[in-house]
Chains A and B, each alone.
Chain A
């Protein structure tokens, strides 16, 4: 099965869960975005055909929300809070420097191994426990230079384990 066909099958499975109406557009995009870290062109075309929603409209929705991406992203999307209560913490800048140093990328970029994407967010809702960042769905608080390195290593190992498990299959 080619990649496009696989996606179409995947979307059909999601249609079974969420239905075929226009209202299924958001949940299906969310599932796709979660599964692939982004919503590819082929995925949008498959959704457009399955739900009978024009492809441009699918694209419009997919580009509207910042948690969706139409460009490839890492397995883990790191969103660092940039709001003032986090930014005023003494550990804020050392933590960010550690992120840059560990990942070798800046904001808006994806690491060459495809594991991490680095973004900024306006508020993670952790103002009393900053500096904070959110990695996919998990919040990390009281960041320091050292804790950032540990957190990244944990995710890196997780990703590598998942990759080798996939290969072993």
Chain B
């Protein structure tokens, strides 16, 4: 291999790279930072490769979508200009592959001036004031303008909007006045999510980012995952801001404002306060939430564990129906249903497979449903006065909370779903410096932090939590006897599609709580439980195609799907930036929380067991749990 390397000199430093490496990538390997507004670490070839590598199609990387020109870097922003000795003019380093030895300069007066000119030209079509922008302080364009001393308005500035703003009904809000046409959103949507909601419309100075027929996002085939927002260098893409409504509720003395916090935000919110990625602030955040006025702070881990109980029981009963009763209405493999981006994805693109989706609601919606029923009854609270807020790493959760059927409590089950970014902003508005705070526990009765719940935030986590519970229930043995420390490593990792098998050597008696679903477990003795995982909906497409073709994934019993790359920790509502390295750090934080908690299995969560004793007395997947904890799906066009 070494003989193939090419030596290039960048700013006097020599670096050896393999042929085809771009000058931009080569410079980064020696710590030379070339600024850019269109290149993103997630969208470079290496990251894309790892996103779609792995089983079941080893060595297969030619999906239909990859045939499009989108794989190549768009080199649209032109900020990364460099000088190459012997070549005339400046060259965009992101689109300059190294095939021969070359000498590159990344800084000179000509380069600095060219970059400043480009920035000033961008500003000449940029309407909107920085102070009135959600990305004020995290805007890449703003930062570069500061770095390059863009203080004048040489080419003028638009004095009025060039484009209409998106209507407030949208969850993904686009403001084209701030768009620099870098196409990160288009590529993210296509290459990681396989959704293709966005495209470039028109040509030349008429080109703009648009959906099919130039529709608003809410009318487009968009799954609300928010990955586009997280990659946008400017404020052209943001999520609907629900913070004012939450402040309003908090300040209303007549309302009881309750918040549930999902696992992924706690591993990431520190980034908004200058912490290293992967700094968990779970209990400091509880203190902060109390300080800004929430009446109760609950852990979504509770309803994550409740989800495992319902979804796991559903799996056992599906397997029983399909394998023993030969009931062909019990569709296998069962698909997880906690990622609202994935739900809208399958509703839109693979509606024939809706029967495979677990009917269990997501943890957010389960918590919402029990808050205004069980919790309100238990505490004598008037459910009409409860404002149920959720802190989520996710923009699609706003859509899920707004789904018309999500009112099984008799009220809106979840009133406002806010993202990690929105929450960080609320803390800052209130002058709360989260990392410096003391720790506070969650409130009971939904306050036991559990390992099984917390790993819901990462790809593979739902499957691991489900396996811990299902294996123990079925075999009657501790899962530690099968996997050290109950760490089910085969389902962990970041490969786009993964598969794992667990042999069920012996079976135990059916626990009381499931006696209404199956008579015994004898039929599972010696069986091999096969599970699959996919994250980033482009990998969901690979799984669905494999199932359609009768490949190995069609033989699985249970498949976890997460819409976002990395699972919830890489969610569209998480702090910006998010990339491969940051996702890995957040995953590490979640697994370290899991390892540190006393309770690490959903069926051992005392709060969950209590709710089955006191409220869902007939057990999981019973009539009452179906009313409150399960839902249905619909085909979308």
- Do chains A and B stick together as partners? yes
Chain A contact residues, CB within 8 Å of chain B: 22, 41, 44, 52, 54-60, 63-66, 70
Report if A56-B197 is in contact (Cβ < 8 Å); known contacts: A41-B213, A63-B202, A64-B203: yes
Q: Known contacts A59-B201, A63-B202; is A54 also within 8 Å of B196 by CB?
A: yes
Establish whether residues A22 and B196, one from each chain, have CB atoms under 8 Å apart when the complex forms.
no
With a cutoff of 8 Å between Cβ atoms, the chain B residues found around residue A41 in the complex are 213
Complex: chain B residue closest to A48, CB-CB: B212
Q: A57 and B199: CB pair below 8 A?
A: yes
B590 at the interface (CB under 8 A from A): no
The 8 Å CB contact of A59, one of B65, B68, B210, is: B210
Given contacts A54-B196, A56-B220, A59-B212, could you give 9 more A-B pairs where the C-beta distance is less than 8 Å?
A22-B68, A54-B65, A54-B190, A56-B199, A59-B213, A63-B201, A63-B202, A64-B200, A66-B203
In the complex, what distance in Å separates the CA atom of A146 from the CA atom of B199? 45
Given contacts A63-B202, A64-B202, A64-B203, contact A56 B212 (CB under 8 A): yes
27 residue pairs from A and B, CB less than 8 Å apart: A22-B67, A22-B68, A41-B213, A52-B64, A54-B65, A54-B190, A54-B196, A55-B196, A55-B212, A55-B221, A56-B198, A56-B210, A56-B211, A56-B220, A57-B68, A57-B199, A58-B212, A59-B210, A59-B212, A59-B213, A60-B200, A60-B201, A63-B202, A63-B203, A64-B200, A65-B203, A70-B213
User: Are A56's CB and B203's CB within 8 A?
Assistant: no
Taken together as a complex, chains A and B put the C-alpha atoms of A154 and B67 apart, in Å, by: 46
Query: Considering the chains assembled together, what is the distance between the CA atoms of A161 and B142 in angstroms?
Result: 61
Q: Bound complex: CA of A56 vs CA of B189, how far in Å?
A: 11
Q: Is the interface of A mostly helix, strand, loop or mixed?
A: helix
Within 8 A of A (CB), among B54-104: 64-65, 67-68
Interface residues on B, range: 10 to 19
Inter-chain CA distance A54–B196, complex, in Å, is 6
Q: In angstroms, how far is the closest chain A Cβ from the Cβ of B350?
A: 14
Of all chain A residues, the one with the shortest Cβ separation from B65 is A54
Residues from chain B with Cβ under 8 Å of A56 in the complex:
196-199, 210-212, 220-221
A70 to B212, CA, bound (A): 11
Residues of the B chain whose Cβ atoms lie less than 8 Å from the Cβ of A63: 201-203, 210
- Per-residue interface assignment for chain B, residues 428 to 468, with 1 indicating a CB less than 8 Å from any chain A CB and 0 otherwise: 00000000000000000000000000000000000000000
Cβ contacts under 8 Å, A65 to chain B: 203
Given the complex of chains A and B, what is the CA–CA distance between A8 and B200 in angstroms?
25
Contact of B196 among A44, A57, A66 (CB under 8 A): A57
Minimal Cβ-Cβ distance residue in A for B222: A56
Q: Report the nearest B residue to A45, measured CB to CB.
A: B212
A52 to B210, CA, bound (A): 20
CB distance from B130 to the nearest CB of A (A): 30
Which A residues touch B200, using CB under 8 A? 60, 64
Q: Assess the B212–A44 pair: CB atoms within 8 A.
A: yes
Question: In the assembly, what is the distance between CA of A44 and CA of B214, in Å?
Answer: 13
User: How many Å lie between the Cα of A55 and that of B198 in the bound state?
Assistant: 10
